[in-house]
């Protein structure tokens, strides 16, 4: 259920704050749209989730002649990055925003150009401003030094620029410049066919591909008022857990890389490889591309595939248990994790943390529990929660979730065996005009929200993807007060995708 | 009706069966196929979605590849094969003479979805173990013989990508990994996304795939140093 409140832009902060205060609402996505072609202005949509599971959307129109509105961030801090995106991409100013610097667009992007305005042609290339502005804030003072890192890193990882400020090895401040892999996917989706956008959704992020494909498909299905059959929904749920498994197992191995524990890197890497080869064997792709589609799934799991998943999962689960036991007994490894990179509970809550990072700081957010989707029913998934908020807690949340996922796969395979052969795809008709819908999936990294709006002819006119990697906004808070050499470890414990964030 | 059981690999093409009906070209989401008086598939653009195989009524397009082979030029990635260009052969010979069996590789993400990057990571796991070929990943471009590029070369990475290449010393090779780096596909080029590594760097080997499997990446690197050519010569 989505309850809509249309308000004047001037009262957005009060309306949003009241919702958070009086109804314990939590901001799950915010976006802006250019609706001038439809005789309106710029639309702003703040979508909140209530404890009941229902949603409330607070919506306002902004006058295109004076495109500004009072920033909601001042009263709902979780809005901070969303409103900076609206400023960059749509050119609508959140006045009074505490940090109005650029976020998506980099310093050499010319002033006055906003890619998500309808009169901006996304296929054009844009020259560089010869006088870049808005540098990073930086830290200055006696004995203070700044360490710039990236965007190209020393390992095989994605690009981002980090500026550490501190004394000696102690970091006071981390500023992150991200969005290097911004590919303009949201703009490319505008006016594109439902199938074409599916290929883009699958390729927002390789490691979260299926989560994004399913979230997108759910948004389309909601608009078209179609629901995939039970068999297709079970297959989605099985494969989404397999996606979580190869990521979580690999992420534990990456923590070993962050502490130079080579045996752990290799043992965990082999388990991840086996899970990905299982994906290839049963779904034709190591990253599960090409499996989900609006209306259902493109691939059946026959009895041979079901048996193979069941067999492999038993074997890998048992090996993973031995692997984790050995890690937990390795004091030199665990010692690096305890008390490192603590993310404060209240900060995580207020700034809208999701996924593993939220749950390791005592914030029990898991879409599978709060908004069950595909074949999940209420009560099937209970959020794994810890309270320490450090690297160890994030590791242990993943470990417990790995075992829970193996159990869930078994349960779902049992249900799949009871369901006879069925149509795997329900046809999606034309989409209704001028409506929006949500698709939400708990990816390995957390809550991925796809917000999709249609235009006057039912075409896709705005596609907003808020992935769990919005958690990036929280990483600097967990790094301050730690040692610089612990940054790679803290970073790996969040294990966020740059591609998911940058789009 | 069950959905078609098709592996997400690039199609094999049988010219004898093709009647030029063009169904494949219509369904291809990335414009990798054209059909007029002849059929042409650009494997650099192909994202292995297998839609073409599903709609082909004559069976001219079928599954059967584990992965599409890396090539030295974009032209060699055209199906059916046209003239096999020799560009790069000389360089590969030189690279082999100079570098022998020790190859240092610098990875550069120039704006990918991270799928290719995770597959490059997988080449270093104990199963694929790329080090058995004398190939190592290094932290600095100054230590590298090969730049292994993923991604379309986005606006926000173009300058960093150029600087990374400039920091390498000669002889240096560039290997483009995956559809994005090989062609920019599937993202439309424009204000944010680019047209692949070859738009700014001299690419020596193109590795098709979305993403290419770890074996394909290893094969592409070996092709770059000329070891595959040499082995074929010996046979």
* DSSP labels, A114-176: -TTSTTS-TTS--PPPSS---------STT-EEEEE-SS-SSS----EEEEEEETTEEEEEEE
Neighbours of B166 (CB within 10 A): 9
Top pLDDT among B84 and A388 is at A388
Q: Which of B7, B114, B175, B217 best tests the A interface by mutation, with the highest count of A CBs <10 A? A: B114
Q: In chain B, how many domains are there?
A: 2
Q: Is residue B73 part of a domain?
A: no
Judge: A156–B111 Cβ closer than 8 Å, yes or no.
no
Q: Is A437 helix (H, G, I), strand (E, B) or coil?
A: strand
**Within a domain: residue B78?**
no
**CB within 8 Å: B8 and A290:** yes
Please name the residue of chain B whose CA is at the shortest distance from the CA of residue A153: B139
- ipTM exceeding 0.85? yes
pLDDT of the residue at B89: 62
Residue of A nearest to B157 (CA): A180
Q: How far apart are CA B81 and CA A226, in angstroms?
A: 44
The interface residues of chain B toward chain A in range 171-230, judged by CB-CB distance below 8 A, are: 186-193, 210-211, 213
pLDDT at residue B68, as a whole number? 82
Residues B99 and B150 in one domain: yes
What percentage of chain B exceeds 70 in pLDDT?
A: 85
Q: Which residues of A104-143 are buried (b: 16+ CB within 10 A; e: fewer)?
A: bbbbbbeeebbbbbbebebeeebeeeeeeeeebeebeeee
In a domain, B79, yes or no: no
Instruction: Identify the domain boundary among B12, B32, B65.
Output: B65
Q: How far is CA B110 from CA A44, A474, A495, in A?
A: 32, 25, 19
B191 and A187 within 8 Å at the Cβ level: the answer is yes
Tell me, yes or no, if A463 comes closer than 8 A to chain B by beta carbon. Answer: no
Q: Is B126 on the interface with A (CB under 8 A)?
A: yes
Same domain for B138 and B229, yes or no, is: yes
Question: Taking CA A328 as the corner, what is the angle to CA A325 and CA A331, rounded to the nearest 5 degrees?
Answer: 140
CATH number at residue B10: 3.30.70.20
Q: Is B70 inside a domain boundary?
A: no
Specify the range with the lowest mean pLDDT, choosing from A226-235, A432-441, B2-11, B48-57: B2-11
**CB contact B30 to A (< 8 Å):** yes
Tell me, yes or no, whether B35 lies in a domain: yes
B95/B54 same-domain check: no
Contact B127/A124, CB-based, under 8 Å? no
Contact (Cβ atoms closer than 8 angstroms) between residue A180 and residue A161: yes
Structural domain of B173: 89-234
Phi, psi values for residue A39, rounded to 5°? 75, 20
Selection from B123, B201, B150 nearest residue A180 by Cα: B150
DSSP code string of A86-123: IIIII--EEET-S--S-SSS-TTSPTT--TTSTTS-TT
Best of B141, B178, B192 to mutate (most A CBs within 10 Å, chain A): B192
Question: For residue A351, how far is the Cα from the chain centroid?
Answer: 14
Tell me whether A269 touches chain B (CB under 8 Å).
yes
- From the CA of B125, how many Å to the nearest CA of chain A? 6
Going by pLDDT thresholds of 50, 70 and 90, the confidence category of residue B223 is confident
Q: Dump strand ranges (E) for A237-299.
A: 292-293, 296-297
Q: Is residue B17 a contact partner of residue B58, using CB atoms and an 8 Å limit?
A: yes
Does the pLDDT at position B7 exceed 90? no
Interface of B with A in 72-91 (CB under 8 A): none
Rounded CA-CA distance A393/A342 in Å is 9
Give the residue from A84, A104, A287 showing the smallest Cα distance to A186: A104
- CB of A256 less than 8 A from some CB of B: no
- Across the interface, whether the CB atoms of A188 and B187 are under 8 A apart is answered yes
Residue A268, helix vs strand vs coil: helix
pLDDT exceeds 50 at position B87: no
> How many Å is the Cα radius of gyration of chain B?
18
B205 exposed, middle or buried (CB, 10 Å; 0-12, 13-18, 19+)? buried
CB of A115 within 8 Å of any CB in chain B?
Answer: yes
- Are B35 and B100 contained in the same domain? no
Query: How far is the C-alpha of A364 from the C-alpha of A9, rounded, in Å?
Result: 32
For chain A, the residue count is 503
Contacts of A362 (CB under 8 A, 6+ apart): A345, A348, A385, A386, A387, A389
Whether the CB-CB separation of A502 and A470 falls below 8 Å is answered with no
CB contact under 8 A, A299 and B5: yes
Instruction: State the smallest CA–CA distance between residue B194 and chain A in angstroms.
Output: 8
**Among B65, B80, B99, where does a domain finish?**
B65
Quick one: B94 and B164 in the same domain?
yes
The token pair at A291 is 């499996």
Contact A200/B152, CB-based, under 8 Å? no
Q: Cβ contact (<8 Å) for A184 and B191? A: yes
User: B114, A120: Cβ pair inside 8 Å?
Assistant: no
Would you say residue B71 lies in a domain? no
Q: Cβ distance B70 to B220 under 8 Å? A: yes
- CB contact B107 to A (< 8 Å): yes
Mean pLDDT over residues B1-28, rounded?
A: 80
Judge if B43 and B121 occupy the same domain. Answer: no
**Do residues B27 and B61 share a domain?**
yes
- Whether the Cβ atoms of residue A220 and residue A427 lie closer than 8 Å to each other: no
pLDDT at site B3? 42
- pLDDT classification of B229: cutoffs 50, 70, 90: low
Q: Is B1 on the interface with A (CB under 8 A)?
A: yes
Instruction: Walk along chain A (503 residues) in steps of 10 and give the mean pLDDT of each run.
Output: 95 97 96 95 97 96 96 96 97 96 93 96 92 73 89 91 91 93 97 95 96 98 96 98 98 95 96 96 94 95 95 97 97 96 96 96 96 96 97 98 98 95 93 96 97 96 96 94 94 94 95
Distance of CA B34 to the CA centre of its chain: 20
How many A×B Cβ pairs under 8 Å?
179
Residue A91 distance to chain B (closest CA, Å): 16
Which residues, listed in sequence order, are joined to residue A147 by a DSSP beta bridge? A164
pLDDT at B90: 64
The answer to whether residues B141 and B50 belong to one domain is: no
CATH number where B109 lies: 3.40.50.12280
B37 and B95 co-located in one domain:
no
Q: Distance between CA atoms of A476 and B62, rounded to whole angstroms?
A: 50
- Best A116, A117, A121, A156 member to test B by mutation, with max B CBs in 10 Å, is A156
Q: Which H/E stretch holds residue A29?
A: strand A26-34
Q: Across the strands, what pairs with B71? A: B206
Same domain, B204 and B95: yes
pLDDT digits (tens, 9 = 90+) for B107-128: 999 999 999 999 999 999 999 9
What is the H or E stretch that residue A396 is in?
Answer: helix A391-418
List of chain B residues whose C-beta atoms are within 8 Å of the C-beta of residue A297: 3
Distance from CA of B95 to the nearest CA of A (A): 23
Nearby residues of A76 by Cβ (< 8 Å), 6 or more positions away: A13, A16, A17, A20, A27
List B residues 8-27 in contact with A (Cβ-Cβ < 8 A): 8-9
Residue B153 is assigned to a structural domain of this protein: yes
Q: State the angle between helix axes of A262-283 and A303-328 in degrees (0 to 180), rounded to the nearest 10.
A: 170
pLDDT the model gives residue B226: 79
Distance CA B108, CA A157 (A): 9
- Whether B178 and B214 have beta carbons less than 8 Å apart is answered as no
Dist CA B214 CA A71 (whole Å): 47
Q: Do A284 and B126 touch (CB under 8 A)?
A: no
For residues B167 and B202, membership in a common domain is answered with yes
Cα Rg of chain A (Å, integer): 22
Instruction: Identify which of A106, A121, A205 has the shortest CB distance to residue B113.
Output: A205
User: In this model, does residue B184 exceed pLDDT 80?
Assistant: yes
Structure tokens at B12: 């094999």
Query: Which domains does chain A possess?
Result: 145-177 (no CATH), 224-431+484-502 (1.10.645.10)
Tell which A residues from 312 to 331 touch B, by Cβ distance under 8 Å.
none
Structure tokens of B190?
């424009």
B76 located within any domain: no
The answer on B202 and B162 residing in a single domain is yes
Cβ separation of B211 and A287 shorter than 8 Å? yes
């Amino acid at each position: 259920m989505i309850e809509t409140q249309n308000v004047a832009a001037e009262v957005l902060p009060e309306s949003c704050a009241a919702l958070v205060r009086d109804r314990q609402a939590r901001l799950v996505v915010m976006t802006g749209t250019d609706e001038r072609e439809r005789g309106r202005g710029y639309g702003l949509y703040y979508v909140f989730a209530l404890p009941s599971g229902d949603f409330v959307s607070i919506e306002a129109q902004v006058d295109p002649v004076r495109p500004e509105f009072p920033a909601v961030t001042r009263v709902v801090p979780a809005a901070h990055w969303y409103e900076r995106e609206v400023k960059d991409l749509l050119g609508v100013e959140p006045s009074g925003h505490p940090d109005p610097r650029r976020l998506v667009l980099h310093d050499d992007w010319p002033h006055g150009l906003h890619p998500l305005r309808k009169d901006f042609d996304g296929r054009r290339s844009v020259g560089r401003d010869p006088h870049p502005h808005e540098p990073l804030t930086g830290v200055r003072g006696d004995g203070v030094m700044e360490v710039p890192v990236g965007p190209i890193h020393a390992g095989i990882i994605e690009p981002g620029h980090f500026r550490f400020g501190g004394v000696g090895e102690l970091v006071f401040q981390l500023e992150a410049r991200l969005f290097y892999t911004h590919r303009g996917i949201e703009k490319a989706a505008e006016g594109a066919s439902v199938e074409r956008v599916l290929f883009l959704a699958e390729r927002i992020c390789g490691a979260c591909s299926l989560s994004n494909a399913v979230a997108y498909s759910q948004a389309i299905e909601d608009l078209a008022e179609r629901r995939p059959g039970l068999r297709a929904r079970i297959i989605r749920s099985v494969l989404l857990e397999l996606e979580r498994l190869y990521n979580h197992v690999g992420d534990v191995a990456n923590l070993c890389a962050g502490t130079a524990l080579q045996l752990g890197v290799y043992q965990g890497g082999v388990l991840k490889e086996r899970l990905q080869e299982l994906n290839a064997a049963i779904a034709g792709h190591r990253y599960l591309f090409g499996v989900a589609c609006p209306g259902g799934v493109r691939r059946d799991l026959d009895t041979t595939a079901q048996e193979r998943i069941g067999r492999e999962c038993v074997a890998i689960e048992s090996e993973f248990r031995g692997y984790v036991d050995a890690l937990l007994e390795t004091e030199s490894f665990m010692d690096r994790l305890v008390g490192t990179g603590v993310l404060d509970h209240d900060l995580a809550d207020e700034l809208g943390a999701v996924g593993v990072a939220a749950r390791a700081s005592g914030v029990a957010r898991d879409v599978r529990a709060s908004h069950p989707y595909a074949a999940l029913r209420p009560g099937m998934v209970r959020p794994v929660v810890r309270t320490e908020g450090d690297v160890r807690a994030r590791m242990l949340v993943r470990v417990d979730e790995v075992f829970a996922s193996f159990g869930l796969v078994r349960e779902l395979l049992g249900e799949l065996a009871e369901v006879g052969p069925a149509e795997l795809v329900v046809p999606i008709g034309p989409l209704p005009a001028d409506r929006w819908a949500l698709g939400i999936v708990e990816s390995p990294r957390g809550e991925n929200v796809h917000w999709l709006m249609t235009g006057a002819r039912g075409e896709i006119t705005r596609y907003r993807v808020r992935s769990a990697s919005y958690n990036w906004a929280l990483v600097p808070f967990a790094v301050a007060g730690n040692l610089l050499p612990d940054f790679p470890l803290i970073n790996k414990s969040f294990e966020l995708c740059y591609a998911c964030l940058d789009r | 009706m069950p959905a078609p059981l098709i592996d997400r690999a690039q199609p094999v093409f049988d010219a004898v069966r093709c009647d030029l009906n063009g169904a494949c070209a219509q369904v291809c989401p990335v414009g990798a196929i054209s059909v007029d008086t002849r059929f042409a598939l650009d494997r650099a653009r192909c994202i292995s979605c297998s839609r073409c195989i599903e709609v082909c009524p004559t069976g001219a397009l079928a599954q059967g590849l584990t992965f599409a082979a890396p090539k030295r030029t974009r032209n060699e990635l055209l199906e059916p094969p046209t003239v096999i260009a020799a560009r790069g052969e000389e360089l590969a010979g030189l690279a082999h003479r100079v570098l022998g069996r020790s190859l240092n590789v610098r990875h550069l993400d120039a704006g990918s979805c991270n799928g290719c990057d995770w597959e490059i990571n997988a080449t270093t796991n104990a199963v694929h173990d790329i080090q058995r070929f004398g190939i190592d990943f290094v932290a600095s471009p100054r230590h590298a013989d090969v730049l292994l590029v993923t991604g379309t070369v986005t606006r926000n990475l173009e300058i960093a990508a150029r600087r990374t290449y400039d920091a390498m010393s000669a002889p240096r090779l560039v290997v483009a990994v995956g559809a994005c780096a090989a062609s920019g596909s599937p993202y439309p080029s424009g204000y944010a996304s680019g047209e692949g590594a070859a738009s700014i760097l001299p690419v020596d080997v193109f590795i098709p795939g979305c993403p290419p499997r770890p074996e394909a990446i290893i094969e592409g690197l070996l092709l770059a140093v000329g070891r595959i050519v040499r082995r074929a010569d010996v046979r």
